[in-house]
Chains A and B, each alone.
Chain A
Amino acid sequence: MDVNAFLDGFAVVTEPGNLFYCLIGVLIGMLIGVLPGLGPAATMAILLPIVVTVDPVAAMIMLAGIYYGAQYGGTITSVLLRLPGEASSVVTVFDGYALAKQGKAGTALGIAAIGSFVGATISIIGLSLLAPLVASWALDFGPPEYAALALLGVLLVATIGSGHTVKAIIAAAIGLLLATFGRDSFTNTGRFTFDSLQLADGLDFVVVAMGLFGVAEILYNLEERYGKPHVPAKVANIWPSRKDLKQSSGAIGRGSVIGFVLGVLPGGGAVMSSLAAYAIEKRIAKDPSRFGRGAIEGVAAPETANNAAATSSFIPLLTLGIPANASMAMLFAGMLVLGITPGPQLVEERPDLFWGVVNSMYIGNLILLLLSIPLVGIFVRILRVRPAILAPITALITILGVYTINNSTFDIFVMIAFGVIGYLMKKTGFEPGPMVLAFVLGAILENSVRRSLLIFDGDPTGFLTRPISGTILALFLLAILLPAFNTVRRRRAATTSAPAGSDREDALR
C-alpha cells in the first residue's frame, strides 16, 4: 500500500468542502434509512443529476455516505416500529423489537450503533489493505477475464437477491438487451433505434436507473403507504451497560468478519450478510431459544455485518470496476457521468479520488456514531413526519433532476416510461435491481466478449483455457448449479419429513 497516497487521502477528506458533503451524505443516508420507502439505491439515483454538478471527489464521498448511512438508519425503524427501513435490517426486527417491548429499545439501538461502527471500521481497514492489492493484480486482466467477471456478477446478483431466480435472470437479461440499444461501436449499425434520433446514442443509464428505482418506488409507495401513522416506542438510556457490551462483543467480532467476506461477493452485500451473521449467532448460542425473544446478540450481529458488508462491497467497484449490488451500480453510474473510469487503474491514476472516498468512510462512520447515539432522539421524531408530505418533494427532485442532465424533455418521458415498467415489475414479482445492474454491465460484457472472440480468433473455448477466466467461469457454473441442487434437496427433505414441516410452521408464528 502506498502510505503517502493513503495519508494524502486524509488531507483530501478534511478539506472543508469534502467534509461538508460527507456530512450531507450520511445525514441523507440516515434519513432515508429511517423513512421506510426509498432505499439507498433509489435515493442515489434520484440525487445523481444534482450531485454530479459538484466536484467529483465530493460527489463520490457524498454518494458513498448515503449508502452506508442508510445502514445505520434502517436499524431505528426495525427496533422501534417493527418496520425495517432497509432490507438489510429485516433480521434485526426479530430481537430488536422484542427488546423494545421490554423497554430496552435504547440498549438495542446503542449496541447496533456501536456494532455498526466497529464492523464498518474493521471493514474499511480491510478495504484499505486489500483494495490496492486486488487492483494491481487486476491490471493484467484482459477482455476474457472481464467478460467472465461481468457475467458472474450479473448472475450472482440475480440468483442471490430476493425473489424468484428465473424472474431475476429474465430481468437481468432484459437489462443486457436494453444496454445494446443505440449504435454498435464495432460495426456502427444502429440497433433497436426504431428510427428515432434520440435513441441513436442508446438509453442514458442515469435516466433508466432514475425511472426503474426512483419513479417506480415513488409510484409504488403512493399505493402502499398512505394513511398509516407511525407511533414509535419511547427511547431511553441509549448507552448500553458494560454487561450488554460484553455479551455482544463476540457477535460484533464475528459479524465484522462475515460482513466483510460476504460483502465482497457480487450480490452478497448487506442483506445476505445480516442473515448469515444472525444464523451463525443462533447456531453457536448456548441457548438458541433466547433468539427472537430479545437476545442482544441478535441485534449486534446483523447490524455489525450489514455495515461491514456495505463497506467491503466497495472493493469490486473500486478495484475491478464491477459493481456488486444495485447501490454500487449507482455509484458506478455517478463515476461515468463525472468522467471517471472505474477499474483497476483508479488507485494509480486518481489516488485523490480513491483514497479520498475510502478515507471519508472512517470519518463518515464517526459522524454516524455521533448521530445515532446522542442524537437518536431527533431521528425518532422524524418518524412522525407524514410520508404524504415527503412524496411530492421526492417526485419533484426526480423530474427536475432528470431534466437537468441533458436539458431534455425526452429524458423525462423515458424516465417515466421506465418508472411504469419498474412499478409493474414490482407488482408482478420481478426485481428491478438485477435489470439495472445488468444494464450497467451490459456494455462491458458485450465489448469484452467480442474483443475476446477477436483475440481467440473465433474459438470460444479460449475463455476456458485461460486460468483466471476459466476459474471465474467454473464459479459461474457453481453459482447456477448449487441453488438448483439445494432446491431439489430441500424439496426431497420436505416430502420425507412432512411432520417436521408443520412444526416449523408453528415456530414461525
Chain B
Amino acid sequence: MSDQHEAARRDDILAELEAEMAHELEEHRPPAGGPAYQLVPALVTLAIGVVGAILSYGYGLGTLRRPGAGLWPLAVSLVIAVLSLVLLAVGRHLRDSEKFARASLLVLAGLATFVGLGMLIPLIGFELPAFALCVVWLRFLGGETWRSTAVVSVGTVAAFYLLFLYALSIPLPHLL
C-alpha cells in the first residue's frame, strides 16, 4: 500500500508543485469572497451568451455552404452560455475570487481620475489634468509627503511634455 502511495506521489510532483505555487501566491492575496462572488459573474457571462445569441440570430445565419454574418457569433455565444451554466452548477464553492475591501475604494478614486483626465484633455490640454492626477495618486492614494508629491508631479509632467511633444513629436492637446 505504501509503495503505491510512493509511486502516486512521485507521479504527482508536478501537481504538488502547482499546489505549492498556488499556496505561495495565496500568501500575497486578500481573502477569497463567498458564493456570491462566483454566482454573479456566472450570471453576467450567461447574460452575455444569451444576448449575444439573440443578436447574432438577427444578423442572419445563412447556411453552412454560405455562412451568414450571425453564424459564428451565434456558435461562440452558445459556448459562453453553456459554459456559464456549467460554472453555475460546479463553481459555487471555488476560492479563486477576492473580497472587496475598504481598499477597493482606492480603485474607485483612481478610476475617477482616469475619467476626469479623459474628459479634460481635449478641453484644457494635458498638463494641468496630468498634474492633478499625479497629486491625487501620490498624496491621497499613495500617502506620500507633500514635498515628494510636488517634486514627482512636476518632474513627471515636464518629462511627459518633453517626451511626447519634442522627442516623439506626437501631437497631444497642450496649453503651453
Contact = CB atoms under 8 A, between A and B. Distances in A.
Interface of A: 50, 53, 83-84, 90-91, 93-94, 162-164, 166-167, 169-170, 173-174, 176-177, 180, 184, 186-187, 189, 191-192, 215, 218-220, 222-224, 226-227, 275-276, 278-279, 282-283, 386-389, 391-393, 395-397, 399-400, 403-404, 407, 409, 412-413, 416, 419-420, 423-424, 426-430, 446, 449-450, 453-454, 457-460, 490, 493, 497, 500, 504, 507-508
Given A399-B114, A428-B37, A189 B60 contact: yes
11 contacts: A53-B168, A169-B83, A391-B142, A403-B172, A404-B164, A404-B172, A416-B115, A429-B94, A430-B41, A490-B15, A500-B5
B83 A187 contact: no
B126 A388 contact: no
Contact of A396 (B84, B122, B133): B133
A42 to B, nearest CB: 16
Given A222-B141, A392-B156, A508-B23, A174 B63 contact: no
B87 interface: yes
Interface centre among B55, B97, B133, B137 (most CB of A within 10 A): B137
B13 A395 contact: no
A22 B30 CA distance: 38
A94 B20 contact: yes
A413 B160 contact: no
Contacts of A507: 16
Interface of B: 5, 8-10, 12-25, 28, 30, 33, 37-38, 40-41, 45, 48, 52, 55-56, 59-60, 63-70, 72-73, 76-77, 79-80, 83-84, 86-87, 90-91, 94, 96-98, 100-101, 103-104, 106-107, 110-111, 113-115, 117-119, 121-122, 126, 130, 133-134, 137-138, 141-144, 148, 152-153, 156, 160, 164, 168, 170-172
Contact of A449 (B9, B72, B101, B126): B72
Contact of A173 (B76, B97, B100): B76
Contacts of A404: 164, 170-172
Contacts of A504: 9, 16
Contacts of B65: 453-454, 457-458
Contacts of B64: 453, 458-460
B60 A222 contact: no
Contact of B73 (A191, A220, A424, A429): A191
Given A218-B110, A395-B110, A399-B117, A500 B21 contact: no
Interface centre among A50, A180, A275, A490 (most CB of B within 10 A): A180
Given A177-B52, A460-B64, A388 B110 contact: no
Given A187-B68, A389-B148, A173 B156 contact: no
Given A396-B130, A453-B67, A192 B72 contact: no
B91 A403 contact: no
Contacts of A427: 33, 37, 97-98, 100
A429 B96 contact: yes
B14 A279 contact: yes
B107 A391 contact: no
Contact of A167 (B87, B115, B160): B87
A399 B126 CA distance: 10
Given A429-B97, A508-B23, A396 B141 contact: no
Nearest to A408: B122
A470 B13 CA distance: 33
A177 B142 contact: no
A269 B111 CA distance: 32
A187 B73 CA distance: 14
Nearest to A504: B16
A424 B44 CA distance: 12
A400 B156 contact: no
B172 A400 contact: yes
B91 A164 contact: yes
B48 A177 contact: yes
B67 A219 contact: no
A391 B138 CA distance: 8
A393 B156 contact: yes
A166 B160 contact: no
Given A389-B152, A400-B130, A93 B168 contact: no
A268 B56 CA distance: 33
Contacts of A508: 16, 19-20, 23
A413 B118 CA distance: 7
B72 A275 contact: no
Nearest to A181: B73
Interface centre among B142, B143, B152, B171 (most CB of A within 10 A): B142
B6 to A, nearest CB: 9
Given A50-B168, A164-B94, A396-B130, A450 B87 contact: no
Given A412-B118, A428-B97, A388 B138 contact: yes
Contacts of B33: 427-428
B24 A90 contact: yes
B76 A83 contact: no
A282 B13 CA distance: 8
Interface centre among A164, A215, A419, A427 (most CB of B within 10 A): A427
Contacts of A187: 60, 68-69
B76 A176 contact: yes
A310 to B, nearest CB: 18
